[in-house]
A and B are shown apart, each in its own frame.
Chain A
Amino acid sequence: MSELIVENLNLSFGGIKAINDVSFTVEAGDIYAIIGPNGAGKSTIFNAISRIYTPDSGSIRYRGQELLERAAHQVVDLGIARTFQNIELFEKATVLENLLVGRSSKIRTNWISEFFFTRNVRKEERVHRRKTEEVLDLLNMQQYRYERVSDLAYGARKNVELARALCAEPEILLLDEPASGLNPEETTDMSFWLKDIKEELGVTIVMVEHDMSLVGRIADRCMALANGAVLAVGSVAEVQSDPHVQAAYLGQVAA
């Protein structure tokens, strides 16, 4: 079954066409990589899916539901969670609080009962904490639990962002450059975790990534973009050997 279907997506900023008639389909349970040079429109596609940008035309369907009819904060209700390229964490809060915000779509209490902290609020809080605990264990981050995000190193922040997205119990994860800025060891950890997330939690992953060794290790399918248009789609090896893709990265061979 196809999970995410993007059809004829167009998006422009003023005169610049950031996405030009892009269509692709992500199958359930896959790790789908989007690659391409800077400015190819990779992150823009993510921002269109999470409704931060509104495309000019096209459709984005998730399990038959049209995402473009929803507001940005309603996307996660469908089971779509994401991370950001530049890390958008809640800096002055602790790791635990960040992860608990990840549970926002599951909150069932209102502010008046929270003001009085009724027994039901406490019960819900315990449930949310148990769920975040599972994620902390999965990503091996117990030692950061009470750290403020502003005190963490870059690599740890990347993991916190991944963990926060997982706390929303997503069915599909959009990861914007999960390995950028990580050292080789951290990148290896990341590749194991992404495989775990895919195999143990059954989460479909769509990721934008420049690190081709990571893409080669874990991606099931791959799409190459340049200047807002699709160059090639297929397995990683197919895309890497595609002449158009090589031209986009390395330039044309002089005739």
Chain B
Amino acid sequence: MQVIFRTSYDQDIDHLVDRGEKYRILAAIALALIAPLLVGSYLLSELAIFLVYILAGLGLMVLTGFSGQVSFGHAAFLGIGAYAHSIFLGYGIPFVVSLPMAGLLSGAIGAALGRAVSRMHGFYLAIATLAFAIVVETVIGEWEQVTGGHMGMQVPALSVFGLELGESWQQYYLILAVVIFFIWGVANLMRSPTGRAMVAVRDSEASARSLGLDTARTKILAFFISALITGVAGGLLAHLLFYLAPESFGVQDSLRLLLMIIVGGLGTITGAVFGAVFVTVLPNIIGVLKQILPDTVANAPGLEQLLFGAIIAGFIIFEPEGLYGRWRKLRLFFETYPYYKKSTFVRQKRYLKTERFR
């Protein structure tokens, strides 16, 4: 087992002090960089969608995983970002301005929502965000002059500084760069006062306030950053969808985002990545399964939803820490072999009355 002997505060502050973790992440980035050489253009566009899901999941992770504010309507920000970006492009605004503008618009709407719900918790917050998503979907559907309504809307071609990026590998690299930028930024936030303030608001609002944190402000900021990141993800997603329709950003997509970060592991950046693997790989596995299964089962309606739901229920019951939690356990098993003991991760005694009901 590796023990890090720290000799300066910078070792506490720096990213990736653990050597194994550093190599794994560098390997993942290297793999992502050479992926266009390894796979065909169909698989590459699937990979691009996977990257966009990472980004959207990262946005929701800031709000739900780090700040503890559940959102049942995050696909709305995906939609706001996608439509705003396409509309701005339609007015001839260049990509490098349009994407940040779409993100900021989404962030501003998120902050307004955050202001409205900053005193809500639990069920009430879930219902408020769900209602918000339904309103956004309806507005997009009805505002025909701007969004094309339910007829849909063509997304302008992707070009950066006058350079048309038509090939899927070009788009892939662009998306990869944006995703890495935001992962880096969120990782920075999480080692800074703002990230700790979010965690503080998540775990105990009363003591966060008594230590000098303006909890309402922290929540609004979390909504802003979260909606901004998800909005940017929406803008990128627009180019992969080619054609936008309000139904692409419905309640089911919101739920998929939420399920993604729960399965991946709440409260970690890695969890967002693992969750994105889950939601992009699973439909393909189900597709393969369908060919093996007898026709009556394979063609039964709702098979995908059933499997999705069953897996999520399984995670919530058996592995609330998600795939990332499972991975940490596996790693500790090998690091401490043969001394691994299951009880390391068993939840300690509950001391607080409120905890007993969790």
Interface centre among A52, A72, A101, A116 (most CB of B within 10 A): A101
Least Cβ–Cβ distance between A51 and chain B, in angstroms: 8
CB of B167 within 8 Å of the partner chain: no
CB of B21 within 8 Å of the partner chain: no
Decide if A101 touches B208 in the complex (CB within 8 Å).
yes
Decide if A92 touches B199 in the complex (CB within 8 Å).
yes
Known contacts being A76-B210, A150-B347, is A93 close to B199, with CB within 8 Å? yes
Least Cβ–Cβ distance between A155 and chain B, in angstroms: 11
Least Cβ–Cβ distance between B82 and chain A, in angstroms: 23
Least Cβ–Cβ distance between A153 and chain B, in angstroms: 8
Question: Roughly how many angstroms separate A75 CA and B10 CA in the complex, as a whole number?
Answer: 32
In the bound complex, residues from chain B placing their C-beta under 8 Å from that of A66 are none
Decide if B13 touches A122 in the complex (CB within 8 Å).
yes
Known contacts being A101-B196, A154-B351, is A72 close to B188, with CB within 8 Å? no
Decide if A77 touches B9 in the complex (CB within 8 Å).
no
CB of B96 within 8 Å of the partner chain: no
CB of B194 within 8 Å of the partner chain: yes
Least Cβ–Cβ distance between A150 and chain B, in angstroms: 6
Question: Roughly how many angstroms separate A50 CA and B197 CA in the complex, as a whole number?
Answer: 19
Decide if B211 touches A102 in the complex (CB within 8 Å).
yes
The tally of residues in A whose CB lies under 8 Å from a CB in B reads: 48
CB of B335 within 8 Å of the partner chain: no
CB of B221 within 8 Å of the partner chain: yes
Question: Roughly how many angstroms separate A77 CA and B210 CA in the complex, as a whole number?
Answer: 10
Q: Within B181-209, which residues are at the interface with A (CB < 8 Å)?
A: 185, 188-189, 191-197, 199-200, 202-204, 206-209
In the bound complex, residues from chain B placing their C-beta under 8 Å from that of A111 are 189, 192, 194, 221, 225
Decide if B204 touches A130 in the complex (CB within 8 Å).
no
Decide if B9 touches A117 in the complex (CB within 8 Å).
no
CB of B213 within 8 Å of the partner chain: yes
Which of B192, B215, B348 is in CB contact (< 8 Å) with A117? B192
Q: B-facing mask of A83-94, CB < 8 A → 1, else 0?
A: 010111111110
Question: Roughly how many angstroms separate A192 CA and B215 CA in the complex, as a whole number?
Answer: 34
The residue of chain B having its C-beta at the shortest distance from the C-beta of A152 within the complex is B348
Which of A100, A104, A122 is in CB contact (< 8 Å) with B212? A104
In the bound complex, residues from chain B placing their C-beta under 8 Å from that of A154 are 351
Decide if A88 touches B221 in the complex (CB within 8 Å).
no
CB of A107 within 8 Å of the partner chain: yes
Question: Roughly how many angstroms separate A104 CA and B204 CA in the complex, as a whole number?
Answer: 14
Which of B188, B206, B267 is in CB contact (< 8 Å) with A88? B206
Known contacts being A114-B192, A114-B194, is A52 close to B210, with CB within 8 Å? yes
CB of A191 within 8 Å of the partner chain: no
Decide if A89 touches B203 in the complex (CB within 8 Å).
yes
Known contacts being A93-B199, A150-B348, A154-B351, is A73 close to B212, with CB within 8 Å? yes
CB of A164 within 8 Å of the partner chain: yes
Q: Within A95-117, which residues are at the interface with B (CB < 8 Å)?
A: 96-97, 100-105, 107, 109, 111, 114-117
Decide if B352 touches A73 in the complex (CB within 8 Å).
no
The residue of chain B having its C-beta at the shortest distance from the C-beta of A122 within the complex is B13
Least Cβ–Cβ distance between B220 and chain A, in angstroms: 11
Known contacts being A52-B210, A116-B185, A130-B9, is A121 close to B192, with CB within 8 Å? yes
In the bound complex, residues from chain B placing their C-beta under 8 Å from that of A117 are 188, 191-192
CB of B356 within 8 Å of the partner chain: no
Decide if A164 touches B9 in the complex (CB within 8 Å).
no
Which of A76, A102, A126 is in CB contact (< 8 Å) with B9? A126
Question: Roughly how many angstroms separate A123 CA and B44 CA in the complex, as a whole number?
Answer: 42
Least Cβ–Cβ distance between B75 and chain A, in angstroms: 24
Q: Within B324-358, which residues are at the interface with A (CB < 8 Å)?
A: 347-348, 351-353
Q: B-facing mask of A17-44, CB < 8 A → 1, else 0?
A: 0000000000000000000000000000
Which of B13, B202, B210 is in CB contact (< 8 Å) with A82? B210
The 6 closest A-B pairs by CB, nearest first: A105-B212, A114-B192, A88-B207, A90-B203, A76-B212, A117-B188
Other A-B contacts than A86-B353, A89-B207, A116-B185, 7 sampled, CB-CB below 8 A, are A72-B210, A73-B213, A82-B210, A88-B207, A92-B202, A114-B189, A129-B13
Interface of A toward B, CB cutoff 8 Å: 50, 52, 71-77, 81-82, 84, 86-93, 96-97, 100-105, 107, 109, 111, 114-117, 121-122, 125-126, 129-130, 150-152, 154, 157, 164, 168
17 CB contacts below 8 A, A to B, read: A50-B209, A52-B210, A74-B212, A76-B211, A82-B210, A88-B206, A89-B204, A90-B202, A97-B199, A109-B192, A114-B193, A122-B10, A126-B13, A129-B12, A150-B347, A152-B348, A164-B211
